[in-house]
Structure formats: C-alpha cells, structure tokens
Structure 1
Amino acid sequence: MKTSPPSSSIEDYVKVIYSFTEWQDKPITSSQLAQRLGVANSSVSEMVRKLKDQGLVDHQPYSAITLTADGVRLALLMVRRHRLIETFLVQELGYRWDEVHDEAELLEHAVSDTFIERMAAKLGNPVRDPHGDPIPAADGSVLMPTAYRMNELDDGHTGRITRISDENPELLRYLAAEEIDLDAAIEVIGRRPFGGALVVRIGPGPGGREVDLAEEVASALWVHSEVAHAGCSVEAR
C-alpha cells in the first residue's frame, strides 16, 4: 500500500520545530509553536497529537516538543527546499532578503524534488541561504558554523557576521539601510552606560565605522569567531 505524502501543515510544523532549535539547545513549547505559526493553542495540541501518532515528534503533556529521527529527516527536507528557494529568489530573480520568506513558504510545497535538485545545481549547490542559515545537503547533512549571538560577546571580540535572523522583515530592511550584511567584519567595542546600546565597529581595522545596536538588533546577529573556524557536521539518523 502506497503511503500518502505528508500534508503541507505537517511539513510546516516539523520545519518550525527544527528551526527553533537549530541555533539553540532549548526545545520548543506548544505556546511558542502556536505563536510562530500564528494559530491557536488548541490547533497546535491537535496537530502535535497527530505528529506523535505518525512518529514524527516526542511529546508528553505540559512538556516541550522534540522531533524524532523521522521528524528530523522530514524537517531537513523542507528546510532545504525553503532555503534553496529563498536563495534562488535573491540571486536569480532580484528579490530583497526581507521579501523571500513568504514567497518560499508558498513555493516549497508546490515544487517537485526534481525541481529542487535542478535549482540547487543551477545555484552551484550553496551551503547557506541569504540570511546565513545553513542549507542541508541532499543527503540530510548540515554544516553548522561555530557562531555566537553578538549581544553575548565580550568587549574586544572580533569576527564576521555569519547569520542574521529573518524573523523580522523590518529589522532586515534596517540592516540593509545601515549596510550591515553577512560576512561583514565586526569588533565589539562595549556597551553604552546604564544598559544602553551595544557599540560595534563594522568593517576591517581602524577604517571601520562605529555603530550603536539596540538589543533586538544585536540579538539577531550571529558572529563567526576568527579564532574558531571549524564547523560541526550534523546528520539526521
């Protein structure tokens, strides 16, 4: 008997669960999942039960939600689709990086596996999307850079911006206007008094420019340390 493919809702749920934990160890809760998907808590509870019945998540009442090995495999498939489409929209169709998320949400469910793999080949099999998030390989492996939130770095830390959270399109537009982009060299100078903005130098050496970053901005930027270059490979099993 042929197994029917998962619904787009199931694909969205496992992708969001995976993405939430990609850059942190803390698992997602039902209320956080509802907030990210823009649905009611009751809808999340019903879907999580369905996901558990299908062997895609582990979940006990009032506890966090974690993906099983099968759930991770499906999530990586959808993350690969989403991020390749985002990359294609920026590189080939001239979209801005703050415009691509919603378009990719629609297209990722509609195109075939063949289309995705031909798109990947056309793009040169990129390893990250326009926001710096890693693009899983076709075999499910992911190369995660060694990176830290900018707002958690000590004064004097240097490195390069390796990831920018795409949760807030308005923040992405602000960063574009300030010419703060992936791979920009940064140095953490320190904080303004009384819990003020984080002061960083953007650009290499003394020729860089000092910028004050609010907490929301600094927490959306991830820095790859120039001291630690090695990434780690994560694979679905």
Structure 2
Amino acid sequence: MPASKNPAIEDYLKTVYAHTEWQPDPITPSQLAAKLGVAPSSVTEMVKKMAAQGLVAHVPYGPLRLTDAGRERALSVVRRHRLIETWLVREMGYAWDEVHDEAEVLEHALSDRLLEQIDLRLGRPSRDPHGDAIPAADGAIATEPFLRLDGAPAGHTGRVLRISDRDPEVLRALAAAGIAPGVAIEVGNADASGERVLVELVAIDDGAAAAASPVELTAGAAAEIWVTG
C-alpha cells in the first residue's frame, strides 16, 4: 500500500505537520507519541518506516522534520480533513465542536473524485470552521502573521484567525460568547493572577471600532485562540 494511502502513516504525517503550523519548534518523538496516544516504541518503529520512505528527516532522540515529499503528503491529508470538516458543518448540520472525530475517519476513505466534488460544491473554501487554512489541491496554503491570544499585549486589536479544535467544551463556550474565526477583538488586561484575560468584541464600521460587551476568558481558553499579528 502506498504511504500516502496508509492510514497510520497519514496520521503521523498530519500530526507532525500540524505541530509546527502555529509555532516554530519541531516535534519530538515523545510529543508525537503523546499526541497520537501510542507507545514511544510504536513511534520509533513508524519513524524508521517513514524515514526509509523519505518522508521525514530524523536523528536518534532528536526532533522530526518533514522532507519535501513528507510535507506534500501531509498537506494532502490535511486538505482532506479540513474540507470534510467544512462540508459536515455547511452541508450536514454538524456543529464545529462535533466534526473532528468524524473527519478523522472519513479522511482515509473518500476518493479523490468525491473530495474534488465536495471542494467544488463548497465554493473552494480557504479555511475550515475552526479557521485553519485548507491547502489547495496543488499544496499551496495561505499564511499570514499571527500570535496566540494568551501572548498578545493589552490593547492589541486583531481578527481571530484560528481556534484549536482540541477541546469541544472550549469551542462551545467560545461560540456562546460570540468568539469565532473572523471576529475582531481587542485584548484587555489579564487579571492579577494571570488566569483570566479580558477581551472586547469589536465591529469595524467605516474604519472605527465599536466596542461590544467584554468577554472574560480563562488563560486556557485564550491559549486555544490565534489572532492576526
């Protein structure tokens, strides 16, 4: 079975890619094992297979980096996953906190023809429901400057780019507060303990920001949000 059609290898490649999509440090084997919920010994064996196929560059006990071939295959899987999530929300009535696990299964099963038809029907979307960029069929992917909300200084105004889909409860809470990709926010001061961050939702009208009701976020929730830099 080709590596690109091996579900286990696809999951590894996607995880290695996603680790560095929103921060610069490469993933270590122990981090990869934790993210995938597998034993370190399983990661060791799989990394050897992927290295032999020219998909990753790795030295013993060191971090993993995708080769050009590995990145190409990773982006193909990422494209499938994010298009499926978008399709489930737009066409199938799923909420954005419900789609990740479904997409994990379907991304390995859909044919290229069906995926192309889904992409076409959706109007070639550039981002999924969580704000993650959807790679084009040729692997091109849009990027722009960003910072994580828990590291943004007070007074910073930016548009929400992406919200991690790691925790469905956080997604539901943020949706209830009106915070979603595309929403403009202004960062207020953290509380004295550093455990909460105050943000204001702002609406841009003729170049002026009109403040809405402030929203108090836990530091954990703020760490799941990326905004324009």
Higher relative contact order (CA 8 A, sep 6+): 1
Matched to 1:158, the amino acid is T
Return the TM-score normalized by structure 1: 0.91
- In structure 1, C-alpha distance between the alignment counterparts of 2:81 and 2:224, rounded to whole Å: 20
1:69-122 deviations in whole A, cap 9, x for unaligned?
Answer: 000000000000000000000000010111100000100110111111111000
- In structure 2, C-alpha distance between the alignment counterparts of 1:194 and 1:219, rounded to whole Å: 16
Gaps of 5+ in 2: 204-208
Matched to 2:227, the amino acid is V
Aligned-residue Cα RMSD (Å) equals: 1.5
Between 140-149 and 129-138, the greater mean CA deviation after superposition: 140-149
- Tell me what 1:187 maps to: 186
User: Structure 1 pair 51/210, CA: closer, same or farther in 2 (3 Å)?
Assistant: same
Matched to 1:13, the amino acid is Y
Matched to 1:129, the amino acid is D
- Tell me what 1:156 maps to: 155
- Tell me what 1:200 maps to: 199
- Tell me what 1:221 maps to: 225
Gaps of 5+ in 1: 226-237
Between 43-52 and 177-186, the greater mean CA deviation after superposition: 177-186
| Contact residue 196 and residue 219 of structure 2 kept, 8 A | yes
Matched to 2:215, the amino acid is V
- In structure 1, C-alpha distance between the alignment counterparts of 2:36 and 2:186, rounded to whole Å: 35
- Tell me what 1:141 maps to: 140
- Tell me what 2:126 maps to: 127
- In structure 1, C-alpha distance between the alignment counterparts of 2:3 and 2:22, rounded to whole Å: 32
Matched to 2:45, the amino acid is E
Matched to 2:226, the amino acid is W
How far apart are 1:178 and its partner, in Å? 2.0
Between 167-176 and 68-77, the greater mean CA deviation after superposition: 167-176
User: Structure 1 pair 22/5, CA: closer, same or farther in 2 (3 Å)?
Assistant: closer
- Tell me what 1:12 maps to: 11
- Tell me what 1:235 maps to: none
- Tell me what 1:101 maps to: 100
- Tell me what 2:111 maps to: 112
Identify the match of residue 210 of structure 1 among 187, 211, 214: 214
User: Structure 1 pair 69/47, CA: closer, same or farther in 2 (3 Å)?
Assistant: same
How far apart are 1:3 and its partner, in Å? 5.7
Return the TM-score normalized by structure 2: 0.94
